[in-house]
Amino acid sequence: MKKRNTILLLGITSIIILTSVQVLIIRGIWKQKNEMFSLKYTMGAQEALYFINRRMSTDGFDTVRFVLSKYSEQANRELRMIKDTALLNQKKKEIFEFFSYSLNKEQDLSEMLAKYFELRGLEKKFIYTIVINDLDLITDDTVSIIHSARAKLPARPGIIEKMAAVDYAKSRILVNWFQMEDNYYRLRFDYFIDFSDKQKLILRESAAFLGMSIFSIVVVVIIFIIAYRNLIEEKRLSNLKTDFINNMTHELKTPLSTITVAGKTLEMPQVITNEEKILETARMIGKQSVHLNQLINMILEISMWERSQFELDKKNTDVGDLLNDIVDSFSSGGGSNATINKKYDLNGLKAELDPVYFTTMVNNLLSNAVKYSVNEPVIDIEGFRNENSVIFRVSDNGIGISKTDQKHIFDKFYRAQTGNIHKFKGLGLGLYYVKRIAEAHGGNVSVSSKPGKGSTFTIDIPY
């Protein structure tokens, strides 16, 4: 148990470690791909700007430059007329918004960039953002600061660029910063692009790796589960074998010790002269030898069955007659204390059966029904025809079988873990025999039972 838990713990720990390592690797790769993506598009955009500049002699802001030039001359004039601070601020805000709006609306750069990206086989669906950093309206003698990003940042040299970079670097890619200037205004702004499909594009690129990694985790988990289940199964079988050897020793010892005691009894002077005592002891020795012989034969037979295919000697048998014989001889033998109700009326139904093995099979069920009962055993035997098969049912009013044990009782050497294992003697082979014999006849056996209420074994044999 301890060993099994250690193995389970080790297995789960290694799976967790493996998964964590994979997650770390995937995160690293994802980050790298993300950076590569940004780099690819930054470089692509830089190239595009260079290309646009050289080929078309524009930076993509010619239209907006014209619009702003006209507007700023007028705005400057109006601004200088306002004396009230509140109104002045209001006007500055208005000017800033106009600049912002025009820059976003009238620029041609985005379209040119998209075309260039398409030409280069890059993704062309992006969102652009223009962020104004500084805007001043100027005349010959005055400078009106409309907007200053720098003014809003802490006045510590060196930190400004860094902070600005942190602000925008998350998912946007900075294509370039621009400066525009004419007689009436001075403007500095950044142009960013952003890909809403970026995660999807990166996912597509890393799909193969992700798939492999998930696949390898799944494979390891499956291998572990299979190995662990095998281990448990082996452990269970080895426990069963140990139990079997213990039970077997116990079973063999009982007749042997009786024979030993009987032998000693025969040597006693008062017995040697008593003919009746000698006969009684000899009969006992004979009975125990038969029992011993039966036990040994059973073991030999089991090992023979394991090695070779089960061979039946099938005969066309009257099923009802055979059942009568079995029940009668059982009642006069080991089952004398049991009430057996014959609930079959097979109307001379004949089936291809091996009468010897069939008898062993039914006998095993009957003797279990007697063995595993605490009160006086009442056993019902049913037999009826069902489409292409004959169904036999042996029900008892015994101790019943738990759900967990029901799964294993037909396994070789399996014995239910009843409190006192030697209270009910056995080797865990009876039901294994029943199953093997039923299967050899092309049929099967099943159980339904409730602890404390009794059990019903059903055998289904085609005819």
Helix 355-371, helix 430-440: angle, nearest 10: 150
Q: Which residues, in sequence order, are CB contacts of 150 under 8 Å at separation 6+?
A: 133, 134, 160
Cα distance between residue 241 and residue 234, in whole Å: 10
Q: Which is nearer to ligand ADP, 338 or 351 (CB)?
A: 338
Q: Which CB, 164 or 409, lies closer to ligand ADP?
A: 409
Q: Which of 178, 428, 438, 459 binds ligand ADP (CB under 6 A)?
A: 428
Per-position x/- string for 320-359, each x denoting binding to ligand ADP as judged by CB under 6 A, each - no binding: ----------------------------------------
CB of 430 to ligand ADP, least distance (A): 3
Question: Of 137 and 381, which has the nearer Cβ to ligand ADP?
Answer: 381
Which of these, 346, 362, 357, 364, lies nearest to 315 by C-alpha position? 357
CA distances, 59 to each of 70, 110, 113, 180, 186 (Å): 19, 11, 11, 11, 17
Q: Is 426 in the site for ligand ADP (CB under 6 A)?
A: yes
- Find, among 449, 444, 415, the residue nearest to 429 by Cα: 415
Among all chains, which residue has been given the structure tokens 């594009």? 201
Q: Give the one residue of 75, 362, 429, 438 binding ligand ADP; rule: CB under 6 A.
A: 429
Distance of closest approach, residue 219 Cβ to ligand ADP, in angstroms: 38
Interface with ligand ADP, residue 396, by CB under 6 A:
yes
- Work out the number of other CB atoms within 10 angstroms of the CB of residue 358: 25
Closest-CB residue for ligand ADP? Answer: 426
Helix 198-267, helix 275-307: angle, nearest 10: 160
What minimum distance in Å lies between the beta carbon of 213 and ligand ADP? 48
Helices (H), 57-148: 62-81, 85-106, 109-119
Residue that the structure tokens 């738990």 belong to: 402
Q: How far is the CB of 435 from ligand ADP (least distance, A)?
A: 9
Stretch that binds ligand ADP, among 58-66, 224-232, 260-268, 422-430 (CB under 6 A): 422-430
Chosen residue from 144, 368, 389, 397 binding ligand ADP by CB under 6 A:
368
439/445 Cα distance (integer angstroms): 8
**Which position among 326, 362, 379, 427 is part of the footprint of ligand ADP (CB under 6 A)?**
427
- Determine the interface stretch with ligand ADP among 220-228, 350-358, 429-437, 438-446 (rule: CB under 6 A): 429-437
Find all residues with CB under 8 Å of 324, minimum gap 6, and list them.
Answer: 342
CB 427 within 8 A of CB 248: yes
Minimum Å gap between C-beta 308 and ligand ADP is 21
Q: Is residue 45 close enough to count as binding ligand ADP by CB under 6 A? A: no
Among 189, 344, 372, 392, binds ligand ADP (CB under 6 A): 372
Q: Which residues bind ligand ADP (CB under 6 A)?
A: 368-369, 372, 396, 398-401, 409, 414-416, 418, 426-432, 455
